[in-house]
Structure formats: structure tokens, C-alpha cells
Amino acid sequence: MTADAAKTETVEHYVSTAPFEPYAAETLTPEQERFYRASQWKIMWWKFRRHRVAVVSAMVLILFYASTLVSEFIAPYYLHTRNAKQIYAPPQEMHFFHEGRFVGPFVYGYSMQLDMETLRRVYTPDPKQVHPVRFFCLGDEYKFWGLIEGRFHFVCPAEGGSLHLLGTDRLGRDLLSRIIYGARVSLTVGLLGIIVSFVIGVTLGGISGY
């Protein structure tokens, strides 16, 4: 190509026909705008919901707190019920089949002997004593939240039998029932401590911000 031909050749000028938008690069998609406009609480909720262990732990904790509302109902025995014949009794194992036959949830009764060398009570399961577990039944009397008298329980021992899934203490009191009642106190104290700490922290934080 000669020099004269190169001079006469013209280059096509590109002109965009799209409308001019100076902020087009900053335009957010609907999904991005949803996160951009979300509050701090909503962002915290999204992060919490993605954490499976935290979600499961929260469900368990909610279940524990819900149980404190009906401790008298779900406990097999009243808090102070004693059985002097079953002091320091071991846990009774739950069974469903007796001699190859389905009976439903039941426990075997205790057979107790006194060890004359140590003077300790030795308990062994007695297959002849089959104690079916009763549900939604009448059992020990109690005062619901110390106000309303009642006897209705979610689970009860068999008539004339026993049901100590975690054993008994030195006074013959059912440990499971006492744990259920004690959970109400322990969880309530912890919750009140968190509320008081939160209120004090927010108050002091607001004062120091001015």
C-alpha cells in the first residue's frame, strides 16, 4: 500500500446507540438490593439461620424453656415425694417386650437385699414385677406454679409400682422429677441474668454515646 492510499483511507467512527447512563455500573440487582437495604437484625437472622448447629441448639434450648412452663405436668412425681423403701435405688431401664411378648413401655420392679458387710442396699431387677408406664394419668398431687391444685401428669408409674428412670437420692426421691423441677429454677435465673445484663449494657452504652 502506498503512502497516498493510506492517507486517503478513512477509519469508521463507532457511535453507541444505547442511552447514556452514568450510574449504570452502580445499579443493583433485586437480590443485591435486598441485602443492601436489610437491617442489622435481619442480617443477623440470615447468618444465624445458615448455621445448622446454632439452629438445632436454639430448638433444644426453646424446648427446655417450654418444659419449665409445665414442670409439674411432665414430672412423674411431685418434687418432695419420698419412698423410704427405695433409697439410693438405681435407674430402672425402660422395656417394651416381656418374655417375647410386646407389652408396651414398662419397667421391672426392684428386688432389694441388705448387704450385711457394707450395710448397703443392693437392688436387682425383678422380672416378676412388670410395671407398665401410664400416660396422661392421675398421680401425685401438686400445685401448678404454686397456685392451682392438680394431679394430672404426662407420665406416671404403674398402680402400686415405681418409675425411677434416673434412680432415687438418699431420701428416696425421684431424681428425674427433681431435675425437671430444678431446670425451671436454673433456666429462669440464667434468663433473668441475661435480661439484666442486656438492660444495663444498653443503658450504659446509650449514656456513653452522648
At residue 206, the pLDDT reads 77
Give the residue-averaged pLDDT of 170-195.
92
**pLDDT of residue 25 exceeding 60:** no
Please state the pTM of the whole predicted model: 0.75
Q: What is the mean pLDDT of the chain?
A: 87
CB-CB neighbours of 111 under 10 Å: 13
* Orientation of helix 52-68 relative to helix 40-50, angle to 10°: 100
pLDDT tens digits, 77-113: 999 999 988 999 999 999 999 988 998 999 999 999 9
User: What is the pairing mode between strands 148-156 and 134-144?
Assistant: antiparallel
At residue 73, the pLDDT reads 95
Query: H or E segment at 123?
Result: strand 120-132
Give percent above pLDDT 90 in the chain.
59
**pLDDT of residue 52 exceeding 80:** yes
